[in-house]
Amino acid sequence: MSPSRGGSLRLFLGVVVLVAFGVILGFSMSDSIGPWMDRMAITGGASSSMPGMTMPGAMMPAQTPAGPGGWAAELAAAHSDVDAGRFAAAVPAYERMLREDPHNLEALIHYGMSLAGLGQVERGLSELDRALAMEPDHFHALWSKGQALFDIKRDYAASIPVWERIAALASSPGDASTARGYVLRAQEQLGRRQQPAPGRGAR
């Protein structure tokens, strides 16, 4: 083999070895960096503070569990009581949750409805208004207020703007139709109240 050909062969083998080493090093670095980047995404590392970026770790922490089953279990049990009409049983549970988290909208809305169901209509409406002050277009809060005004308090005039707002916000035709039906029923009730009693018409 000539010296020039031997030198070319050695140079070629050297390049192959360098390329192979680079490939192995690249795989090794990706294996070590990958899990680290995953941990950054989960815990919200330094890059979570970059403007315009929202990493999972930078989100608001989950609510502190209350009781052995956590908030979900507490709410589910209280909601079951409300669905069954056991408002007196549900009220203490909602009060306990709201002491821990006064801004828990779900608990606040059901608390207001439970109070109204127990006959404490004004207190119930006050709690629903608290929820709506936090989120004015909250669909569930508006619906609960409309029902409390119409079905429990029989304040048909006050219920009309609430149902009209619900109809405007409704994402399903069924909900919008139900809300408009409440408006018509409220107007009918108001019309009946304004009708003169028999024998007392104008002379």
Tens of pLDDT along the chain (203 residues) come to 444 444 444 544 454 444 444 444 444 434 433 333 333 332 233 332 222 222 222 222 334 444 445 678 888 899 999 888 899 999 999 999 999 999 999 999 999 999 999 999 999 999 999 999 999 999 999 999 999 999 999 999 999 999 999 999 999 999 999 999 999 999 999 988 776 656 655 44
Work out the angle at residue 135's Cα, subtended by the Cα atoms of residues 131 and 139, and round it to the nearest 5 degrees: 85
Domain boundaries, the chain: 70-194
Cα–Cα distance, 170 to 179 (Å, whole number): 9
Q: What is the pTM of this model?
A: 0.62
Architecture category of domain 70-194 in CATH: Alpha Horseshoe (1.25)
29 Cβ partners below 8 Å, 6+ apart? none
Residues 6+ apart with CB under 8 A from 185: 150, 156
Residue appearing with tokens 């930078």:
58
Which residue pairs, CB below 8 angstroms and at least 24 apart, start in 117-120?
A: 117/82, 117/85, 117/87, 117/152, 118/87, 118/88, 118/91
Task: Scan for tokens 């009060």, then name that residue.
Answer: 95
Sorted by sequence, the CB contacts under 8 Å of residue 153 that are 6+ apart come out as 116, 121, 125
The pLDDT, as a whole number, for residue 196 is 64
How far, in Å, CA of 39 to CA of 9, rounded?
Answer: 46
- Whole-number pLDDT of residue 193: 76
SS3 162: helix
